Amino acid sequence: MTRHRPAAVIVLAAGEGTRMRSATPKVLHAIGGRTLLGHALAAARALDPDHLAVVVRHGRDQVANHVAELDKTAIVADQDDIKGTGRAVACGLAALPEHDGTLLVTYGDVPLLSPSTLGELVEVHDASGSGVTMLTAEVADPTGYGRVVRDPSGDVLAIVEQKDATEEQRAIPEINAGTYAFDVAVLRAALDRLGTDNAQGEMYLTDVVALAREAGHRVGALRTADAWQVEGVNDRVQLAALGAELNRRLVVDWMRRGVTVVDPSTTWLDVDVELEADVTLLPGVQLRAGTRVRAGATIGPDTTLSGCDVAQDATVIRTHGTGARIEQGAIVGPFSHLRPGTVLGAGGRIGAFVETKNAVIGEGSKVPHLSYVGDATIGEGSNVGAATVFVNYDGVAKHRTVVGDHVRIGSDTMLVAPVTVGDGAYTAAGSVITEDVPPGALAVARSRQRVVEGWVERRRPGTAAADAAARARDATGDEATSHPPDRQNGPQQQDQEGTVRA
Ligand code: UD1
Ligand code: CA
């Protein structure tokens, strides 16, 4: 990313984050599908430092476990009982192997800081030979931030915290971002001299600036014009604001790369989605972590996909999908629920009110309406009639159903797994299939229809139904239908196939 690599990065993540009012440590809250700490670690890693440490304390184990998940080689450093950003950096430094050169400090709660800004900070620092180079920005409301105090020639003299600042200093619009490049030796010497004589009784990292100057080192500053990049999250209002800005940037970036986004304000993309040029995203689309969409595909409106793979020219309408693969030209939705392990083959179809799970549906096969397909393999060119259920669960274990190529499953079929329907076979509508169906066979598994002629006029006299029946009888003049005897339930002689419409 940058020609200038820092020797080390320390990410501060020990603070309490009380204003989040959350049982979850602040840095583990997420925007764009990645935790705040995840964003900070990704930016730091992009610089390819020799060493990377994360300073933890509040919610220690949760944060440390998260670091271990994200970054195997990051060092977790524990901050002790002494408070303050200066102490945090000292604890981080103590955990790192001995080294020289440039050390970068960033925060775990500043998610929009980009690798290129960090790289520029290192570059400016290395080129200037300063002891410290800090990142600053001018913000509309500097309240709460440390202010950057410069001398008349523009050199940085000190950083003064809000609580320690004079009225005059509080009027300074340039704030300390909290991101610094240090010469490690200069930092080490200054940390040894840090005190807690300030309004908060903490060891301020900001005091290193004045101490470095006293020791005869230059303090430089890189002022960024992009104030969003230095903004930290302190409460949930800022979490939402930064989340929206991150999303806006991601959407703009994808549009510049050739993705059509009809309504950027209702399109939400996680940082690690992958889109190709000529993908179209309709309003109300959320693409979550690990989703990939290929050229020519159209997603939405109102669709949420997580960890899904959508191939070229596929269409996914009003769908909720997790861990599904949709092959080329296939069509999904509206109102489909794709659960993990769903694979829809090229040109296939999953339609309205269909739920699928662990279901591999072959090329050109269709499940168009109102069905549940769980733990199934369906071959090519098969059709699953409306309201079919792949009955996969016996109350204890899940079982698999295999349907071959060019099969016609009649509407309202229950396929009680484990069961296999061979290539080219048919099942009759309304069947409960409990035994394997050989290739080419028709399986009928339902009770026969019984007709009791004249029942309504006899048993429901005076109703609208009886009147309608009487009118129908008079119109056809069919005497045979009037007052026949009740027929009892029993096997009929009619040919089974004659009743089937598949
Ligand atoms: C700090 C700076 C301030 C700057 C602001 C930018 C100091 C004294 N002040 O103020 O000049 O404008 O950041 O956002 O440095 N942390 C620890 N251990 C601690 C305390 C904090 O790891 O003991 C971490 C926090 O988790 C957080 C970061 O350091 O990631 C900043 O801490 P915070 O308390 O928010 O500092 P500010 O008071 O905002
Ligand atoms: Ca802060």
Q: 261-271, pLDDT tens digit by residue?
A: 999 999 999 99
Query: Is the separation of the CB atoms in 133 and 222 below 8 Å?
Result: yes
Calculate how far, in angstroms, residue 233's C-alpha sits from the geometric centre of ligand 2: 7
Query: Is the separation of the CB atoms in 311 and 294 below 8 Å?
Result: yes
Amino acid at 18: T
291 phi/psi in degrees, rounded to 5: -90, 135
Q: What's the pLDDT score for residue 257? A: 98
Q: What's the pLDDT score for residue 479? A: 55
Q: Is the C-beta atom of 220 inside 6 A of ligand 1?
A: no
Nearest CA to ligand 1 atom 39: 145
Q: Is the C-beta atom of 327 inside 6 A of ligand 1?
A: no
As given in the structure block, the two tokens for residue 20 are 């989040």
Q: Is the C-beta atom of 88 inside 6 A of ligand 1?
A: yes
Q: What's the pLDDT score for residue 155? A: 86
Query: Is the separation of the CB atoms in 356 and 373 below 8 Å?
Result: yes
Q: What's 390's DSSP letter? A: E
Nearest CA to ligand 1 atom 13: 178
Q: What's the pLDDT score for residue 168? A: 95
254 phi/psi in degrees, rounded to 5: -70, -35
CA 118 to chain CA mean position, Å: 26
Assessment of whether the complete model's pTM goes beyond 0.85:
yes
| Position 493 pLDDT exceeds 70 | no
Q: Residue 337's beta-bridge partner residues?
A: 320, 355
Is 125 an active-site residue? no
CA trace torsion 437, 443, 446, 449 (10° rounding): 180
Average pLDDT (212-231) is: 96
Closest CA to 144 of 108, 118, 111, 170: 170
**How much is the mean pLDDT over the chain?**
94
What gap in Å lies between CA 211 and CA 157, rounded to an integer? Answer: 10
Average pLDDT (281-294) is: 98
Active-site choice (99, 369, 399, 406): 369
Q: What's the pLDDT score for residue 199? A: 87
| Position 295 pLDDT exceeds 60 | yes
Average pLDDT (103-118) is: 98
What gap in Å lies between CA 227 and CA 225, rounded to an integer? Answer: 6
Q: What's the pLDDT score for residue 476? A: 85
Q: What's 418's DSSP letter? A: S
| Position 491 pLDDT exceeds 80 | no
Distances (CA, A) of 198 to 88, 164, 454: 17, 7, 97
Average pLDDT (204-230) is: 96
Q: What's the pLDDT score for residue 490? A: 44
Query: Is the separation of the CB atoms in 205 and 84 below 8 Å?
Result: yes
pLDDT digits (tens, 9 = 90+) for 402-414: 999 999 999 999 9
Query: Is the separation of the CB atoms in 111 and 148 below 8 Å?
Result: no
- What band does 133 get if pLDDT is binned at 50, 70 and 90? very high
| Position 498 pLDDT exceeds 60 | no
- What band does 492 get if pLDDT is binned at 50, 70 and 90? very low
Average pLDDT (230-245) is: 97
| Position 480 pLDDT exceeds 80 | no
* Peptide bond preceding 6 in cis form (omega within 30 of 0): no
Average pLDDT (37-66) is: 98
Q: Is the C-beta atom of 15 inside 6 A of ligand 1?
A: yes
Q: Residue 303's beta-bridge partner residues?
A: 285
